[in-house]
Structure formats: C-alpha cells, structure tokens
Structure 1
Amino acid sequence: MGIHRGRNVGSVAACGRERSLPPLLLVAVVAGALAGCTGAPLSDDPVGTASPTASAVAEGPAASEPAADDLDRFDAVNRAVIAADASAGGTAFVAALAEAGFDRRAIEVTSDTTTLGEPADSIQFAVRVDDRCLVGQYGGASGGYRSMGAAVLGTGGCLVGATGAAER
C-alpha cells in the first residue's frame, strides 16, 4: 500500500491497531458501498447472451447521451471484448473503450497482475463520464463480467487504489 499524507492508504484501524487491506478487497468494499448509494443495478447478464458484433458496437449511441445509454454502450463494448478474447486483459478493454469514443484520459484500469506477479483474479476498469463513473469488473473472482454506474469519488477518479495508465 502507498503512503498518503503520513498514513497508510488502504488500511483500517481495528482495536487501536492498523491493518492493511488487500487492494482488490478495498476496491470491492468501495464499489459495494457505491452500489448501495447509487441505486443503479449491477449488470448480471451472462457474457454469452446477445454479445454484439464489432459493427453493432461502432454504431452505438454517441458519448454525449445520458448515463443509462452510456452504461449500455460501456457494457456492449466490454462484452464484445470478452466475446473476442475470454482472457482479455486491461489493455484490450482500454483500447476498445477508447475506440468506441470514450475519452482515453478518463479511463482507469487496475493491473492484470498481483503485486507478486501472478495473474489477477479479476480486473476493474472505469470511465468517468461527466459526474458519473461507469465501472466494470471482469474475471473469475467476480463471476464473469459485472458493471455499474457510480458517483465520482472525492479524488475525482472512479477507482480506489493504484491504477495503471490508460495510455497503454
């Protein structure tokens, strides 16, 4: 965990002691808390159903449409990535989202590997659209693909913790 203004980011105090939380657990806790606040349902549709073709994604709604349409477009792009490569990593999601018209500078993604260099159980990726975040998670630990709309964090970003540069 990184140091931020003299305290360990991603830690909690328990009985006067500070304990470090694993980064993915911290992201999951914050994402769960945000899901409860937004009222936006998680997308539970299996990846295999009605996966759009690349041309359907390219013909999707424009980036300036309302948040619900943005989440639909975000889901369509991400499901197309998964349909094309079930082992897709962060780079593939970032490239597809940028190609679909999402602002590359507003895209965040977690690492494909753990701090020990092992493949991550799941990755998270997000796009900030105006005052909302479109957050996706993909991998075995998350039961496939999940997504949700959420409020922007106080930091101005969408994901908690260290994220990789979307300029990959």
Structure 2
Amino acid sequence: MRGSQAVLVRTPAIRALAPLALVAALVLSGCSAGSPAPSESPSAAASSGTATPAAAPVLHPDGSAEDNLPLFAAVVARVWAGESRVKGGAYIDALTAAGFTRADMQVTADESTVGNPAESIQFSVRWGQDQCLVGQVGPSTGDPVTSVLPQVDGGRCLIGKTMPIGP
C-alpha cells in the first residue's frame, strides 16, 4: 500500500485500549448517519408475531383444571388489583361472572375469630371428579397464588371451616 503506513504501537497503555477501540468501531459501523432505521409495517409485525397481543383467557367447560387455570388466575389478579382485594366474596362473585360454577366454590373467612382481618383468604372451584382450582390472597401472601390441586375427601377443595356461599 503506497502512501499509507501501518504504525505498530507497542506501549502497554495503548495496547490496553485497542480492544475497546475495536468494539467502538464495530458498534459505530452499524450506524449510518442520516438514514432512518427501517420499521415494520403493522401488517408485517402482525404476521411475524411480534406485535400480536395475547388472547384473553377464556373458560373451557369441557377442559381440564389446567386448561382453566389461566382464566382463574386472571380473575384473581383483577380482583386483587381492586378495592375489594381482601373480601372473599369479591373473588366468588368475579369467578361466577367469568363462568365458573358457584355451587362448586368454597371460600374461607375474611376475618379471624376475634374480628381482625384475615392474614390470608383461600377460595376454590371444584373441577371434575378429582381436581380443584385454588387461590390464596392476603397480606401474608404477597402476590396472589393460584394452582391446581387434588380434591380432598368428600370432593372438597379446602380443608377446615369455610363460609357459606349463597346462590
């Protein structure tokens, strides 16, 4: 190469900076001044799957408890985010409105035996012959917890005293 000379630098300080300079050069070579970045059209984004919102969970009456856990969890999260977050009846009403069968539900008390707010509230929906959708919320729980658990003796989901659920 005539007219240009390669310079070898042998000082330790410059050698230490060489990798950093290489990275900076590579990063900057990917940018081009004055040309806008390409953007996907809405239809291209939708066809690529990157901009498609997740479908809202729905009730699957003939599905398993696992199939219905996403809807159960979404309803629980919605109630937990509201003002009635420590009222068991609010979860029962919201689950009923979402299509779960009220007669298959159980809920624990909102208050302790001495009238203090409950540290946690549990509620459930019996599903099929052997499973339950179970939720737990309250100050001692933190974020809501939902899961699929096996039924206990007698086709119940919760152990211990539960509150009556009206029609």
Give the TM-score normalised by the residue count of structure 1.
0.61
User: Shift of residue 59 of structure 1?
Assistant: 6.5
Query: Counterparts of 2:91 and 2:85 in 1: how far apart (Å)?
Result: 11
- Given candidates 60, 63, 66, the residue that maps to 1:65 is 63
Change (3 A) 1:86 1:151: same
User: Shift of residue 86 of structure 1?
Assistant: 6.0
Instruction: Name the amino acid aligned to 2:117.
Output: P
Query: Counterparts of 1:141 and 1:60 in 2: how far apart (Å)?
Result: 29
Change (3 A) 1:88 1:120: closer
User: Shift of residue 143 of structure 1?
Assistant: 1.9
Q: Note the 1:87-106 alignment, pairs <5 A.
A: 87-106=85-104
Which structure is higher in strand share?
1
Instruction: Name the amino acid aligned to 2:137.
Output: Y
Q: Note the 1:13-52 alignment, pairs <5 A.
A: none
The runs of at least 4 consecutive aligned structure 1 residues that moved more than 3 Å come to 56-59
SS in structure 2 of the partner of residue 80 of structure 1 = helix
SS in structure 1 of the partner of residue 81 of structure 2 = helix
User: Shift of residue 58 of structure 1?
Assistant: 8.2
The equivalent of 1:51 in structure 2 is none
Determine if contact 2:57/2:70 at 8 Å carries over to the other structure.
Answer: no
User: Shift of residue 88 of structure 1?
Assistant: 3.6
CA RMSD of aligned residues (A): 2.1
SS in structure 2 of the partner of residue 142 of structure 1 = coil
Name the count of aligned residue pairs: 113
- Given candidates 116, 121, 133, the residue that maps to 2:119 is 121
Query: Counterparts of 1:163 and 1:134 in 2: how far apart (Å)?
Result: 16
The equivalent of 2:156 in structure 1 is 157
User: Shift of residue 69 of structure 1?
Assistant: 1.8
Query: Counterparts of 1:157 and 1:126 in 2: how far apart (Å)?
Result: 9
Query: Counterparts of 1:98 and 1:57 in 2: how far apart (Å)?
Result: 21
User: Shift of residue 154 of structure 1?
Assistant: 1.1
Identity rate of aligned residues, in percent?
39
Query: Counterparts of 1:148 and 1:87 in 2: how far apart (Å)?
Result: 18
Q: Which runs of 5+ in 2 are unaligned?
A: 1-53
User: Shift of residue 63 of structure 1?
Assistant: 2.6
Instruction: Name the amino acid aligned to 2:74.
Output: A
Q: For CA contacts below 8 A with separation 6 or more, give which structure has more relative contact order.
A: 1
Change (3 A) 1:59 1:134: closer
User: Shift of residue 117 of structure 1?
Assistant: 0.9
The equivalent of 2:108 in structure 1 is 110
SS in structure 2 of the partner of residue 101 of structure 1 = coil
Determine if contact 2:64/2:127 at 8 Å carries over to the other structure.
Answer: no
Instruction: Name the amino acid aligned to 1:121.
Output: E
User: Shift of residue 57 of structure 1?
Assistant: 9.9
